[in-house]
Amino acid sequence: MGVENIEYNADELQAPAWLNAQFIGGILSVYESVPDLKVTNLEITPASAQGDHYASVMFRTKVEYTSSKGKFTKPLIIKTMPEQDGHKKELLAESHLFETEIGMYCHALPEFERILREAGDDTKLFVPCIYHSLTPRKVLIFEDLVPQGYTVIRNSPPSDGDLKLAYTKLAKWHAVSMKLINEQPNFLKEYKYGFFEMPTVQADPFITTAMGSFIKVLDKIPELRKYKPHFEKIKDNYMERLQVEMHEYHKYRRNDRYYVLCHGDFHLRNMMFRHNKKLGANDDVMLVDFQFCNLVPITIDLTYSIYMLMEPQHRREMGISLINDYFSVLLETLKKIGYKGEMPTQNGLWSQIQHNKYYDFFMITTLLPLMLGVKNNTLKMHEALQNPEARLKSYFFDSYVKEVSELLPKYEKLGYFNDL
């Protein structure tokens, strides 16, 4: 993690009492099939910065152990629920987050990789999960990617090459999920719980106050005031319209739409890149954090990424170049793995992206100001989520106003304000 100045929540700083040598030793003994395994040293440090993961806390452990086979060291990541914030823990206990992620590690992603390997593609989509449980506590343990040369990009923007790596990996993931949806629809049917299915999300002030704050920006800036009537028109029902988009696969499926198992939280902090010294650049990326994976229109990850992953210069063009590169890999992979459904078209993809415009409205009014504030070091994630005044301030940052001023004319040109 380097020497960067990282803030942590209390839950992220202090490991729970049950996370000890006896607990880890018992797990490794079973995983390694070594009954006489004994932990001789256990180091535990935080594995995520404050705000990286809303719905979980993560610890990095370095385990030293002995057995009849010799002495060993194993770096692990432990993911569990926050314990010090009792209210948050109670809410998260009602969600399906850990069930979804366990299913991804143990059910969906192994099958995705098997299908790719059969087609001659050795792309890695996940690291092995060595332990998981839902009771008496929700826990996931998997191998640490850092010793394998993977790191999270924090203090600099991703290069175009980094972004292409991420979209290539997503395209292959999406392609395999399309094959399974087409040939074995029941295989992925359990993945129906995304961000908006979390308890109280739609009643959270962070969500409910966003549109009002956005309209205040439009009212105070003369050149943006002409867009105010459009958002006033939808302010009372845009979340309901968004739910229709989000639940389309399960409730309103259409034959002319493309559906995938999405990642659901496709942003830079959920990616770890591997640097290749010979190339002088990153040569691989591993996606992490699969708690929001669900069956949705293909547009969900792509639209989310326009606002949460791309840089302003890409966002100004609504991500055309990167998404077209993604589509090329998607099509190539579908052909390689023997997809039997009707092949998607580039025009069809863009038509669907533009049809699902209410997700754009949610992103620009709710998550974009938060992302830009955190990225520019003018806002703390936990402050934005908990403090209404800090949240409102983020809407008037110069970087956000500039982007809104560039994006709204794009919306108008694409017809987003027609038939609201």
At which of 88, 113, 138 does a domain end?
88
For residues 53 and 117, state if they share a domain.
Answer: no
Q: Does any domain span residue 248?
A: yes
Evaluate the omega torsion of the peptide bond into residue 147 and state whether it is cis, within 30 degrees of 0. Answer: no
Does residue 49 carry a pLDDT above 80? no
In the three-class reduction of DSSP (H, G, I as helix; E, B as strand; rest coil), residue 122 is classed as coil
Q: Give me the pLDDT at residue 388, please.
A: 73
Beta bridge partners of 285: 273
For residues 29 and 110, state if they share a domain.
Answer: no
Query: What strand order describes the sheet that includes 281-287?
Result: 150-151, 271-276, 281-287
Instruction: Indicate the pairing of strand 129-133 with strand 281-287.
Output: unpaired
For residues 166 and 273, state if they share a domain.
Answer: yes
Q: Does any domain span residue 21?
A: yes
Average pLDDT over residues 392-402: 89
Q: Does any domain span residue 205?
A: yes
For residues 37 and 114, state if they share a domain.
Answer: no
For residues 45 and 117, state if they share a domain.
Answer: no
**Token pair belonging to 31:** 């995983």
pTM: 0.92
Q: Does any domain span residue 131?
A: no
Mean pLDDT of the chain: 90
Does residue 13 carry a pLDDT above 70? no
Which carries the bigger pLDDT value, residue 201 or residue 17? Answer: 17
Average pLDDT over residues 102-125: 97
Q: Tokens 């996606």 map to which residue?
A: 287
Q: Does any domain span residue 40?
A: yes
Q: How many domains does the chain have?
A: 2
For residues 46 and 155, state if they share a domain.
Answer: no
CATH code assigned at 213: 3.90.1200
Average pLDDT over residues 353-382: 87
For residues 392 and 324, state if they share a domain.
Answer: yes
Which carries the bigger pLDDT value, residue 317 or residue 14? Answer: 317
In the three-class reduction of DSSP (H, G, I as helix; E, B as strand; rest coil), residue 228 is classed as helix
For residues 108 and 250, state if they share a domain.
Answer: yes
Does residue 50 carry a pLDDT above 70? no
Q: What distances in angstroms separate CA 20 from CA 2, 108, 213, 367, one per listed residue?
A: 25, 30, 46, 37
At which of 42, 60, 88 does a domain end?
88
Q: Does any domain span residue 357?
A: yes
For residues 28 and 122, state if they share a domain.
Answer: no
Q: Which of 331, 180, 199 is nearest to 249 (CA)?
A: 180
For residues 64 and 172, state if they share a domain.
Answer: no
Q: Give me the pLDDT at residue 168, please.
A: 98
The percent of residues in the chain predicted with pLDDT above 70, rounded, is 91
Does residue 3 carry a pLDDT above 60? no
Which residues span the domain enclosing 238? 104-126+149-414
For residues 17 and 110, state if they share a domain.
Answer: no
For residues 75 and 187, state if they share a domain.
Answer: no
Confidence tier at 7 by pLDDT (50, 70, 90): very low
Cβ 75 vs Cβ 65: under 8 Å: no
Q: Does any domain span residue 2?
A: no
Q: Does any domain span residue 5?
A: no
In the three-class reduction of DSSP (H, G, I as helix; E, B as strand; rest coil), residue 63 is classed as strand
Does residue 10 carry a pLDDT above 60? no
Does residue 85 carry a pLDDT above 70? no
Confidence tier at 2 by pLDDT (50, 70, 90): very low
Q: Can you count the helices (H) and strands (E) in the chain?
A: 20, 10
